[in-house]
Homo-oligomer: A and B are copies of this chain.
Amino acid sequence: MTTRQRRNRPLLVVHTGEMKGKSTAAFGLALRGWNQGWSVGVFQFVKSAKWKVGEEAAFRALGRVHEQTGEGGPVEWHKMGEGWSWARKQGSEQDHAAAALEGWREIARRIADQRHGIYVLDEFTYPMHWGWVDVDEVVSVLAAREGFQHVVITGRNAPQALVDAADLVVQMTKVKHPMDAGQKGQRGIEW
């Protein structure tokens, strides 16, 4: 590889581990992509307490900045399987599995179309971990992706095949957590 090739290579990044910071760091990375003028695609796979409304509002605002002024890049934010909730156990597990798989297939189509410069597949490790989306298919689609598309995948329990395929893997580990001291989750921090 030339230096230029080594310098400009689309990366598969995985943020895993049991601690906070996996998703926030992915969104921080997406800020850099936005500033490069790349199309930012965020795909959320798990309905968490508040769907990360803070990041969503901020990225939607940045998307509007792009539309109005041309600064940065366009932003798309998708909730895969909107309407269902893991926590509330609405619908059956088969429904969840089907929704997750359909979400992944949509992403695979976008990758084939080279739709985005950076993809954040937030909490996408879970559908793979649970066997709802085949990790070998994911690795195969990502390995074959053309053009210049960075992909960031977050969540605990990253499957080994995904870690093996990734260029960059960061583990967020716990040193100290306020909930150990009785702290409850709070706005602006947890969401």
Contact = CB atoms under 8 A, between A and B. Distances in A.
Given A28-B26, A71-B61, A72-B61, A7 B150 contact: no
Contacts of A14: 175
A37 to B, nearest CB: 9
A53 B35 contact: yes
Contact of A184 (B3, B31, B185): B3
Contacts of A187: 32, 36
A139 interface: no
A170 B174 contact: yes
Contacts of A9: 178, 183, 186
> Nearest 5 A-B pairs (CB), nearest first?
A24-B28, A32-B54, A169-B175, A35-B54, A21-B25
